[in-house]
Amino acid sequence: LRDNRIELVRASWHELSISVSDVSLSDEGQYTCSLFTMPVKTSKAFLTVLGVPEKPQITGFTSPVMEGERMQLTCKTSGSKPAADIRWFKNDKEVKDVKYLKEEDENRKTFTVSSTLDFLADRSDDGAVLSCRVDHESLNSTPQIAMQVLEIHYTPLVKIISSNSWPEEGQTIILTCESKGKPVPEPVLWTKDGGELPDPERMVVNGRVLSISFLNKTDNGTYRCEAKNPIGRNSTEYVLIVHDVFNTLLPTTVIPSLTTATVTTTVALTASTTTSATATSIRDPNALAGQTGPDHALIGGIVAVVVFVTLCSIILLGRYLARHKGTYLTNEAKGAEDAPDADTAIINAEGSQVNAEEKKEYFI
């Protein structure tokens, strides 16, 4: 062996050692050690040189990427012998659906390996870390890794949050418009029923917050929050229904009748409305507070029932008095109250023909 990279380490009658520095693929082959005796003795060994893969590189990425676009990222490494293994990870979770390609280098000893990741860009991938990891036996369990942080641009996502799920007249409600997008959305735009806010004094906009004080029925309607950025715009709606606030007892009503009885009726009316903020109210949204009155149909029905019951009572009382005749004793029945039967009663009765004295006639 005649090479400046080969040095003699130890030489004795029992051992001959050499060292090879800066090992290259050309150093691979069969090495022979000979002992010049009679006869000559030899020993052979085959040296295998591993090709260390180069540090991987990720290509095909352009920043930023619009949501919905298709992305094709390729990770490649060369000089591995034998061929290296490539795996993809997204936030430490391995991605299985990839294409693997192995090609032999020009020296016909090493390999170039590549892996392609194909997917659609989604807003959930914004900020995700894609990593390409190369494993090879020459790396001593320390893989080589290339990383790429994704930047996805997308239209705003808009949501309205209400501070009061049951707004009532006279109260204050705060509507907060949450908008998330990339780039960051511009200040939001508030509208009511497709037009500008009708009462700027009570409807105050502060950034993304709409505050409406002293609620009344004229505030009923659909409020829209719209947000936009250079990618696009988006909006959402909130249906406001202002509920009545009253729990009134109607005054006592005295209903006259044909008798001396007085009937007193008290009716409690309670406002009832729909709890859903998105339901459509059948009330007039332009009605002002305090214009609601008692239900005349309900009062009329109660009056009719009371009059009907009173008339029926009078009729029944009259029929009872007409039928109640009582018990009267005639002069003929005197003395017959205790008789056990009819014949004895006739005999004992005063004025009976049996006990009657015979009439006497006198002539003068």
CATH code, 206: 2.60.40.10
What is the per-residue pLDDT for 247?
A: 53
Is 19 a domain residue? yes
Is 338 a domain residue? no
Q: Of the candidates 109, 124, 150, which is a domain's last residue?
A: 150
Is 178 a domain residue? yes
Is 323 a domain residue? no
* 31 — pLDDT class (breaks 50, 70, 90): very high
Mean pLDDT along residues 41-57: 93
Domain shared by 180 and 133, yes or no: no
Q: Which residues contact 31 (CB under 8 A, 6 or more apart)?
A: 44, 45, 46, 47
Between CA 360 and CA 65 the distance in angstroms is 147
Domain shared by 143 and 61, yes or no: yes
Q: How many domains does the chain have?
A: 3
- Sheet of 98-104, strands arranged across: 57-59, 70-80, 111-120, 98-104
Is 204 a domain residue? yes
Torsion of CA 183, 184, 186, 188, to 10 degrees: 130
Is 328 a domain residue? no
What is the per-residue pLDDT for 256?
A: 44
**Mean pLDDT of the residues in the chain:** 81
Q: Where are the beta strands (DSSP E) in 91-244?
A: 93-95, 98-104, 111-120, 129-135, 144-149, 152-162, 173-182, 189-192, 203-206, 209-212, 221-229, 232-240
Domain shared by 146 and 159, yes or no: no
Pairing of strands 70-80, 57-59: antiparallel
What is the per-residue pLDDT for 122?
A: 94
Q: Of the candidates 240, 270, 288, which is a domain's last residue?
A: 240
Share of the chain above pLDDT 90, in %: 57
Question: Is residue 132 over pLDDT 70?
Answer: yes
Between CA 125 and CA 133 the distance in angstroms is 19
Residue-number span of the structural domain to which 19 is assigned: 6-47
Q: How do residues 241-299 score in pLDDT, each as one tens digit?
A: 999 986 544 444 444 443 333 334 343 333 333 333 333 333 444 444 444 455 778 88
Mean pLDDT along residues 164-175: 94
Q: Running DSSP on this structure, what letter comes out for residue 158?
A: E
Is 122 a domain residue? yes
Is 261 a domain residue? no
* 91 — pLDDT class (breaks 50, 70, 90): very high
Q: How do residues 204-249 score in pLDDT, each as one tens digit?
A: 999 999 999 999 999 999 999 999 999 999 999 999 999 998 654 4
Q: Which of 64-68, 186-190, 333-337, 346-350 is predicted with the least confidence, judged by mean pLDDT?
A: 333-337
Between CA 142 and CA 133 the distance in angstroms is 10
Q: Of the candidates 150, 176, 197, which is a domain's last residue?
A: 150
Between CA 350 and CA 182 the distance in angstroms is 123
Domain shared by 131 and 67, yes or no: yes
Domain shared by 32 and 111, yes or no: no
Domain shared by 144 and 178, yes or no: no
Domain shared by 191 and 213, yes or no: yes
Q: How do residues 101-113 score in pLDDT, each as one tens digit?
A: 999 998 889 999 9
Domain shared by 146 and 61, yes or no: yes
